[in-house]
Amino acid sequence: MQADDKTRLVYLTSLVAGRSFVPIGSGRQIIQSPTYIVKANIGTPAQSLLMALDTSTDMALVPCAGCIGCSSVTYDTTKSVSFSSLACGADQCKQVQSSSCTGTACSLNITYGGSTIAANLAQDNLTLATDSIVGYPFSCIEKVAGGSFPPQGVLGLGRGPLSFVSQSKSLYTSTFSYCLPSFKSSNFSGTLRLGLNGQPKNIKYTPLLVNPRRTSLYYVNLIGIRVGSKIVDIPPSALAFNPNTGGGTIIDSGTVFTRLVDGAYTAVRDEFRRRMGKAVVSSLGGFDTCYTVPIGKQVPTMTFMFPGLNMSMPQDNFLIHSSSGTTTCLAMSASPALNVIANMQQQNHRVLFDIPNSRLGISREICS
């Protein structure tokens, strides 16, 4: 009952004039997908999809009726009077690097995680909260191969010209924030806040960086990681922002577990193990620092350090427990070239993307 009340309160808050608040839920609990989802209404009359939020993707990816390899929930273009296909000559088609022209349609071949997608570029009205964006361009998916695609599509919140952030610029001035609830949360208790109204006033900021190699991604300058009271000795090259290679650190809502470049990960992992004392270390799946004994008191805190702010995390943001409950692992792993601060580590924080002022805000907020 309380959970229902909380969800209702988020909804009622979204109706307050001038504030565009959209409830966020854990896809893991609601649609069995390890993403965070919002309800998006597409077309006229509206058809609802629970779309995954992805700050590292630009274009919305929508499973359309008749799609091969998609889930049973799709958007039926024939039932919307405001739907239209976008042809080869359309400006939007020219903005998509993966487009090709076969006949009149603007065809797209996209890779998303481990999935390959065939789609056509289209447009229709899209509504989040109460504001409608007319003629919103998206990929109308015809075929998906590979298993990692979110079942009801993806809402791209990246920095590119076809993203939701860019397409809704006149409404929300390229400003948004979210609080992601615990992945165990079964209701829509998180919020996506769109526009300047309703954003937190007392929040610390760090600069947002633009990497010319990967212009859609939200880069930040990770300058250190503290495990317990110790700032870990990490090779500077592992954290360095590199405009030539695309190296550095991004904040991402679509990746589940934080990835750190080898040198950084090894240093953090080794310090974490040292703090855990003589407890025997094992591995499980992709995690190499796991414990089968009860752990609690000796678990150190962990803090990501940026110019202007520190992001201190409770245990729930960096420890994951096996389904049987007998094993606990450090929920991070090594990455070949890019540091990714992922959604598990962001749980129960307000993360504010202020693109006009090139800054990112982070503050603790319980929204589970």
Task: Name 236's bridge partners.
Answer: none
Q: Which active-site residues does the annotation give?
A: 54, 252
- State the Cα–Cα distance between residues 351 and 170, nearest whole angstrom: 21
Q: Provide CB contacts within 8 A for 201, sequence distance 6+.
A: none
* Phi and psi torsions of 94, nearest 5°: -70, -20
Q: Is 267 left (phi over 0), alpha (psi -120 to 50) or beta?
A: alpha
Query: SS3 for 21?
Result: strand
Q: Provide CB contacts within 8 A for 324, sequence distance 6+.
A: none
Encode 281-332 in three state secondary structure.
Answer: CEEECCEEEEECCCCCCCCCCEEEEECCEEEEECHHHCEEECCCCCCEEECE
- State the Cα–Cα distance between residues 161 and 111, nearest whole angstrom: 18
Q: Provide CB contacts within 8 A for 1, sequence distance 6+.
A: none
Query: SS3 for 27?
Result: helix
